[in-house]
Amino acid sequence: MVARGVTVTCYTILISFVVTSMVLGNEMCDQTPHPSQRKTLVIQHPTQKPIGSATEFLKVSMERTLDGVVKAKKDTYSLGEQFDSNHIEKGAWEDCMELYDRTIHRLNQSVSCQEDVCSRSDVQAWLSTALTNLETCREGMSELGVSTDSLQGITIDITNALALSKGMEANGNGFGGALGISKVAVETPSIRRRSPDAVVAQDGSGDYKTIQEAVEGAGERPRESKRYVIHVKAGVYQEYVKVGIKSHNIMIVGDGIGKTIITGDKSKGRGFSTFKSATFVAEGDGFVARDMTIRNTAGPENKQAVALRSDSDRSVYYRCSIQGYQDTLYVHSGRQFFRECNIYGTVDFIFGNAAALFQNCSILARTPPNRVNTITAQNRGNPNQTTGIVIQNSVIRAAPGAHLGGGVRTYLGRPWGSYALTVVIGTFLGPLIEPKGWMEWGNQTALSTLYYGEYRNSGPGSGTTNRVNWAGFHVISDIEEARQFTLHNFIDAASWLPSTKVPFTTPL
């Protein structure tokens, strides 16, 4: 796809700078998965002050990685002309260009972490997202038979940075000092207590007639900005909505599930990539949606058809109904919280590589076209990514009107990524769940490297006696192990969730 110039690695940084302590440098390199990758390369760099800390070492690594991603994006841009005659290939190329931009955005956030207001968990989340973005690009291009060898070097760089960052966290080092630095308090006014910033109404009684116009009217909003509230009155909005990556702290409030409805029908079967098929896309950090329905009506015959794709870090979805069939909810990246939501679908209908926690939700399986349902497909590809799907205090059952008897099989999930992580806690599992619980995805190596867990679930589908015997499957009995997947530990919720004024439960 592109010809990468130079690959930055741990040893490259060591031999490109004067390191105050070679012991420090060697220790940092030893923490990476690729310590000797191309270690003979020498990159000339202007004179820098000596690297005297693990934080500085990681920052240099991320800066070099950022340079590589910027170059790769430029090289990939030049390939656009060759895809003009092929709509599908052009779409995959456009996805990659967008994903490069997002990777650059997350790396910039990580590099500037000392100047910005963030924590170690923020950096780990952003690096996890950067790696996810590149993997999504690679998958899209590989499906078309386009070479993705050029992504390997950048991927190695981010993989090494993830490992370095995790090692620093374990050792008590990191950004903002040993204890971290405080977060910006983002005000989240309740729509019930004051007037919203904008109103959308199809009858012309509001400020806008479409949701997208209202989002664009909010303009670009920096990370530290106050919440901008958009009230969408009842109605069926046949439009595709995108809250862009520079639109932080947007809140969209409807008049209730089944009253405010956003609907579209893009799908893989109609020539759109899975990534671009979403009816609603949330990218700007701090996004909040509440009291609405988001649909993709393409139907099961059109394969992948996303209703909601979320790339928003620290995002919340409260009292929303998310409806589709295959690939309904794309929790692509970032830290996400779903509370009292209804999610409908068939195949892999909650999927992606975000750190997504579902609490007090109803997960509703529909009639599948091939007689097999898989509720989740988690895509963690690296053990240092702070990602996964956690379903807590929820209900998993058949959707109203679904026909799940007569040989239809429904599984809790299957591993899209080699290190897939999915945990079900304190949840009612209906009789639709197969006794073995989980399904293979033709990747036998993932069965030992994944982490699938079940803890104190109930209902006719919750028995674990006949569950899969994979090395990576766990019937959790230790409450301390289960606590790894609580709100505060899994998505760092204490630092950002209270400001959204959405209810949540912290204990197991």
So which residues are the catalytic ones?
Answer: 348
Is 499:186 a contact under the CB 8 Å cutoff?
yes
Tokens of 231: 């009230």
Helix/strand/coil for 143: helix
Helix (H) or strand (E) holding 409: strand 409-413
Q: What are phi and psi of 376, to 5 degrees?
A: -125, 155
HEC string for 151-210: HHHHHHHHHHHHHHHHHHHHCCCCCCCCCCCCCCCCCCCCCCCCCCCEEECCCCCCCECC
Is 333 within 8 Å of 353 (Cβ atoms)? yes
As a whole number of angstroms, the distance between CA 299 and CA 328 comes to: 11
Residue listed under structure tokens 């996890």 = 128
Beta-carbon contacts of 28 under 8 Å, excluding residues fewer than 6 positions away, are 10, 54, 57, 58, 164, 167
Torsion of CA 464, 467, 470, 475, to 10 degrees: -10
Measured distance CA(89)–CA(197) in Å, rounded: 40
C-alpha 10/C-alpha 20 separation (Å) is 16
Neighbours of 222 (CB within 10 A): 9
Tell me the DSSP string of 420-456: -EEEEES-EE-TTB-TT-B---S-TTHHHH-EEEEES
Task: Reduce the DSSP state of residue 253 to 3 states and report it.
Answer: strand
